[in-house]
Structure 1
């Protein structure tokens, strides 16, 4: 019996084959989406730090954990910005709460540098930020206040939008 004749006599076979193909395709898409982890932002090889409350900054290994000793001073990660062609400036400093810092210290340097999902999660939940010269640190969870710190104005009060620069 030829295939056409078979399908004419028993149309449910064609319907079953099509339905099976759709199920296999859907299962394939579902398995692909389920197995992929959310993309974590990549960490650059080095980031900026400041040991004088943002007056100056220096580049160091991104695996360093903010709050380390640098020539007898505590160095915090610094987010450095530039407005137009103006001089770069420290927009805010970053450190981690005690439990976050302790947890990051347990992760190998290579994983911190690669920003593994574990390191990324700790950074997201334990980061504290402040503007240079501010006395208190703000949790990233403090939505409105944190948003103001994360979006620093240009030092010359120009209407330029500051963009973050990396080493």
Structure 2
């Protein structure tokens, strides 16, 4: 008897197997999208941009993206290098208005000694590549188009993240 026939005879088992496969697939995608699998680094500085990724600067990593910097709104910039090439902005990140408000409240609560947990849903974060007209929610299934960074040759083999000193 084939596996297909066994699954057809046992519908509850089929559903359990299917739900497990879907659950594992979704958790793998979320893990990858949230930066899992890489080296966890603890930096006091992060990169930000005020001009759609043309230029970037290092500032306190505790700044909640969307803060004012020299009269302009600054967004988190993820910087990469293609081999030995010059660093560049791969994509930018910001919070929605609701996400920024929640992040600022959580930080204020934390500073006041109140218990807090900053676990904002993905719908409260958005990303975009420099030059894109619109922002894409992190919860969008097509997020990979935005956060996948490629080099000048179109591959991502030699791409490495760059961190502030």
TM range (shorter): 0.5 to 0.7
Distance 1:148 1:132 in 2: 13
Partner secondary structure for residue 59 of structure 1: strand
Match of 2:149 in 1: 152
Match of 1:7 in 2: none
Match of 1:131 in 2: 129
The Cα RMSD (Å) is: 2.6
Taking structure 1 as the reference length, what is the TM-score of the superposition? 0.65
Match of 1:58 in 2: 57
Aligned residues: 122
Distance 2:47 2:131 in 1: 17
Change in 2 beyond 3 A, CA 1:57/1:111: farther
- 8 Å CA contact 1:43, 1:62 repeated in 2: no
Structure 1, gaps ≥5 residues long: 1-39
Does structure 1 residue 97 correspond to structure 2 residue 96? Answer: yes
Could you say which structure has the higher helix fraction? 1
Q: Matches of residues 4-43 of structure 1 in structure 2 within 5 Å?
A: 43=42
Partner secondary structure for residue 118 of structure 1: coil
Distance 1:151 1:54 in 2: 16
After TM superposition, the runs of 4+ consecutive aligned structure 1 residues lying more than 3 A away are 40-43, 109-112, 158-161
Taking structure 2 as the reference length, what is the TM-score of the superposition? 0.66
Structure 1 position 109, deviation (Å): 6.7
Structure 1 position 73, deviation (Å): 1.1
Match of 1:108 in 2: 107
**Which structure: larger Rg?**
1
Match of 1:87 in 2: 86
Partner secondary structure for residue 108 of structure 1: helix
Structure 2, gaps ≥5 residues long: 1-35
Partner secondary structure for residue 99 of structure 1: helix
